[in-house]
Amino acid sequence: MNIGLLQVDGKIPNLALMQIAKYHEDLGDKVERYLGGLFNSYYDKVYASKIFNFSEMPELPEKALVGGTGIDFYNTLPLEIVKYPPSYTLYPECDYHLGFSMKGCRFNCSFCCVPKKEGKPYYNSNIDDLLTNPNGGNRLMLLDNDYFGSPNWEIDLKRMIELKLKVCFVQGLNIRILTEQQAELLSKVKYYNSKFKSRYLTFAWDKLKDEKLIRKGIKICNKFGIPSSHMQFFVLIGYDTTPEQDYHRVMTLHEELGVLPYIMPYNKKDLYQKRFARWVNHRAIFKTVKWEDYN
């Protein structure tokens, strides 16, 4: 069969589509990126994955199977596909390994779909089993949403250190409950940003009331050799905070605590959220232009 796969949105390779590709490749099918409506008669099956609900859905043939959290929080891959390792043939440009060492989350944040979709934390794969990309080298991107909620977090960190892997915790780590033991071991990992070019760990300050926990977590990281200059913080805006509270969090992180804020707008169509995100996330402008002067 001829199989067309479409990644509707998202900046990193789509793991679900990669598992679907591997499943069909093992059946002897021809798998490729979906080329659009002019080629619909060529495909026997079309799969599409949509991560965000705000992304526009292109026109697809009736035979297309569409999934992802942008369609429904609760849809999952079929049982015969879900345990397949990913195939990287759709993404020849990908030069890192990709996957989940764990799934689920210990928390139940009202703005997040992970606990609803995946439930409580559970072990998914050991580090060695994730190293399947022929072009991945020593680079590993983890998609875990609550890494330290994994029962295997310590074993996996030690394995990363042993293998001298460059690791990106792309979804961020929860600094509010980071222990000294975890920070000490984490400091020995070669952590990087999503491009594997800069030394960054990503955390989050979503709720205004967590300020004391954020400060405490940064001090713990600093104590064990993770400098503030190696920290980026996702800052959720437009959900349950005012613009004044958003500004307070951003400037506290940047000016007082010496870490880099990164705005995550809850509603990307809202003009204020779009403007504030552009100001903060454009690093050169943020460091040289005041918010009240930004146009």
Name the pTM for this structure.
Answer: 0.92
Residue numbers of the domain that contains 57 = 1-88
- Number of domains, the chain: 2
Q: What is the mean pLDDT of the chain?
A: 94
Residues 74 and 171 in one domain: no
> Comparing C-alpha atoms, which of 16, 27, 161, 21 is closest to residue 98?
16
Residues 82 and 101 in one domain: no
Residues 6+ apart with CB under 8 A from 195: none
> Comparing C-alpha atoms, which of 178, 176, 247, 251 is closest to residue 209?
176
Residues 111 and 256 in one domain: yes
Strand boundaries in 231-280, DSSP class E: 231-237, 260-265
Residues 148 and 293 in one domain: yes
Residues 45 and 123 in one domain: no
Residues 2 and 46 in one domain: yes
Task: From 71, 88, 105, give the residue that closes a domain.
Answer: 88
DSSP calls for 226-256? --GGGEEEEEEESSS--HHHHHHHHHIIIII
Residue 7 φ/ψ, nearest 5 degrees:
-95, 110
Element (H, E) at 167: strand 166-169
Q: Helix or strand or coil: residue 22? A: helix
CATH number of 227's domain = 3.80.30
> Comparing C-alpha atoms, which of 165, 170, 104, 158 is closest to residue 137?
165
Residues 20 and 104 in one domain: no
Structure confidence at residue 39 as a pLDDT band (50, 70, 90): confident
| CB of 54 closer than 8 Å to CB of 9 | no
pLDDT digits (tens, 9 = 90+) for 53-97: 888 888 898 889 999 888 877 778 888 898 899 999 999 999 999
| CB of 142 closer than 8 Å to CB of 101 | yes
Task: From 55, 88, 121, give the residue that closes a domain.
Answer: 88
| CB of 273 closer than 8 Å to CB of 245 | no
Residues 245 and 193 in one domain: yes
Q: What is the dihedral of CA 189, 136, 132, 11, to 10 degrees?
A: 90
Paired sense of beta strands 201-204 and 45-49, if any: unpaired
Residues 84 and 123 in one domain: no
Structure confidence at residue 295 as a pLDDT band (50, 70, 90): confident
Residues 174 and 295 in one domain: yes
Residues 229 and 203 in one domain: yes
Task: From 63, 88, 113, give the residue that closes a domain.
Answer: 88
> Comparing C-alpha atoms, which of 2, 80, 89, 103 is closest to residue 47?
2
Residues 117 and 1 in one domain: no
Q: State the residue for tokens 């989350």.
A: 105
pLDDT at 115 over 70: no
